[in-house]
Structure 1
Amino acid sequence: MDKLPKIALPVVFAFIVVVILISKSAVTIDSGQAGVLYRTFGGGVVTDEPPLGEGFNLVAPWNSVTIYEVRQQEVFEKMNVLSSNGLDIKLDASIWFEPVRQELGKLHQEKGEDYVQRVLLPAIRSAARSVVGRYTPEQLYSSKRDAIQHEIFEESKKIVQNQYVQLNDILVRDVTLPATIKEAIERKLKQEQESLEYEFRLVTAQKEAEKVRIEAQGKADANLILSASLNDRILQDKGIDATIKLSESPNSKVIVIGSGESGLPIILGNQ
């Protein structure tokens, strides 16, 4: 077997070194991610350039890249806060957020990869304590949940607006009151509902009674007007009109004119 040429060994060694360098230099960034470059001999974290984008990237082997997800993300948080009268309230919330892509280098340098625990969640907890402390348990349980959600979101945005984090929304999923307080509120709401129903029935009955009274008064007034307008001549005219109509009926046989009271006709011989 022939010996390898003297040049072959250095070539093989150089090839191995190149392969190692390429493998160390190649950085692949997935969809929805971005990379923060750290230059070992060039000032550390790069903050004055856009982060590395998706796909294949080459960096010097002595540098490093930290990859962040830059899509909208969701984190769930359970908090214990106090109402305006000092009662313990449990609040479950979903937080939608994403890092500010163009400020990713500063976020990495100043806050680090665990920025959610260092920046975002403390801001949410602080805002939740401040907002919930303005309301009573009754308000939290019934009509004010949407208002509380909006206020927590707005106050949290103010806290994180200069922290390189974009807060998209906060959804209050559940508000849990102490069991005794919840039962008391439910009893009170039930009593209020029953009271409203009773008042409604009472008003309806009063309106119906007023309607009947008005109808009766109208009939009485009509009868008075009719009685005042009747006299013998009108009654005779009415009788004559009725006689004419009856005479046209096939059942009428004999009509005696002027034989009844007040000279009204008498009808005889009906079949």
Structure 2
Amino acid sequence: MEKLPKGGVLTIIVIVAALILLFKSVVTIDSGHAGVLYQLGGGVDPESEPLGEGINFVAPWNSVIDYEVRQQELPEKMSVLSSNGLDIKLDASVLYQPDYKNLSRLHKEKGKEYISRVLQPAIRSAARSVVGRYTPEQLYSSKRDAIQDEIFEETKKIVEPQYIQLNNILIRDVTLPPTIKEAIERKLKQEQESLEYEFRLVTAEKEAQKVRIEAQGKADANKILSASLTDKILQDKGIDATIKLSESQNSKVIVIGSGDSGMPIILGNQ
């Protein structure tokens, strides 16, 4: 077997070394991710642009720190105190992502542990501050949306200057001490029953008012009618009725005098 010339061996070594350097110089960034360049001897330049998706070429002696830059969810369960000192448990979801433009600065100042170093302390501090302004009754019923918005705004003020983009905070559940929850539910039930009773009273009063108005209308009508019926009118109507009865083929009319009112008295039939 013939030996390779020294020049050929050297060439192969150079080619292999070049291939190794080439492969080490190629960095692929996945979709939804970005890279922070760490330069040997210089570290991370906070003003540098992050490396985008796809293939990136870097010097083989440098390294790239990978970050997910799309929206992520952080489930967070917290125990906080209400305005009257009762223990309230919140179950929340925090929707966030690193500030892409300031990704190098985020890594330089906070590192990849920015969630535990910045985001979690901020959300817990904001939740304690906000919930401490409300009573358990307000937390249980009408104020939940307002509390969610206030926690979001206070957390946002803390994390955005530290290169974290806060998209939303969703309060999934508010858990009160069992005795407090039962007392609130009893109170709400009593209030509902009271409202229903008041509604029935109002309905009954309106119905009674309607009956009174109808009765008054009938009384007024009868009063007007009575005032218009004079003795002369009644006598004329009586005469008309007597004439109609006398004309009937099924009646036999006998006039036997006149009544107190001067009207004929009609007796008999057939």
Normalised by the length of structure 1, the TM-score is 0.87
Distance in 2 (alpha carbons) for counterparts of 1:242 and 1:28: 116
1:121 aligned partner: 120
1:67-126 Cα shifts (integer Å, max 9, x gaps): 111111111000000000000000010001111111000000000001011111111000
Letter in 1 for 2:12: V
What is the deviation of 1:245? 11
1:249 aligned partner: none
Unaligned runs of 5+ in 2: none
8 Å contact kept, 1:29–1:55: yes
- Bigger mean CA deviation after superposition, 187-196 or 50-59: 187-196
* 1:167-206 correspondence to structure 2 within 5 Å: 167-206=166-205
Residues 172 and 242 (structure 1), Cα distance of their counterparts in 2 relative to 1, 3 Å cut: farther
2:165 aligned partner: 166
Unaligned runs of 5+ in 1: 247-251
Is 1:34 aligned to 2:58, yes or no? no
Residues 127 and 241 (structure 1), Cα distance of their counterparts in 2 relative to 1, 3 Å cut: farther
Distance in 1 (alpha carbons) for counterparts of 2:241 and 2:2: 147
Residues 196 and 2 (structure 1), Cα distance of their counterparts in 2 relative to 1, 3 Å cut: same
1:67 aligned partner: 66
Residues 50 and 227 (structure 1), Cα distance of their counterparts in 2 relative to 1, 3 Å cut: same
What is the deviation of 1:255? 9.6
1:218 aligned partner: 217
What is the deviation of 1:235? 4.5
Local SS of the residue matching 1:161:
helix
Residues 235 and 106 (structure 1), Cα distance of their counterparts in 2 relative to 1, 3 Å cut: same
Distance in 2 (alpha carbons) for counterparts of 1:55 and 1:244: 117
What is the deviation of 1:163? 0.5
What is the deviation of 1:237? 6.6
What is the deviation of 1:5? 2.6
1:111-164 Cα shifts (integer Å, max 9, x gaps): 000101111111100000000000111111111100100110111111112110
Letter in 2 for 1:35: G
Letter in 1 for 2:11: V
Is 1:131 aligned to 2:120, yes or no? no
1:181-237 Cα shifts (integer Å, max 9, x gaps): 111111111111111111111111111111111111111111111111123454567
Q: Report how many aligned residue pairs link the two structures.
A: 265
Letter in 2 for 1:21: L
8 Å contact kept, 2:238–2:263: no
Residues 239 and 124 (structure 1), Cα distance of their counterparts in 2 relative to 1, 3 Å cut: farther
Residues 98 and 241 (structure 1), Cα distance of their counterparts in 2 relative to 1, 3 Å cut: farther
8 Å contact kept, 2:239–2:263: no
1:12 aligned partner: 12
Local SS of the residue matching 1:34:
strand
8 Å contact kept, 1:253–1:269: no
2:149 aligned partner: 150
Normalised by the length of structure 2, the TM-score is 0.88
What is the deviation of 1:253? 5.0
Local SS of the residue matching 2:2:
coil
- Bigger mean CA deviation after superposition, 228-237 or 53-62: 228-237
User: Kindly, what percent of the aligned residue pairs are identical?
Assistant: 71
1:228-252 Cα shifts (integer Å, max 9, x gaps): 1123454567679989999xxxxx7
Local SS of the residue matching 2:162:
coil
Residues 11 and 269 (structure 1), Cα distance of their counterparts in 2 relative to 1, 3 Å cut: farther
What is the deviation of 1:46? 2.2
- Bigger mean CA deviation after superposition, 202-211 or 143-152: 202-211
Residues 245 and 140 (structure 1), Cα distance of their counterparts in 2 relative to 1, 3 Å cut: farther
1:17-43 Cα shifts (integer Å, max 9, x gaps): 1121112111100111111111113x3
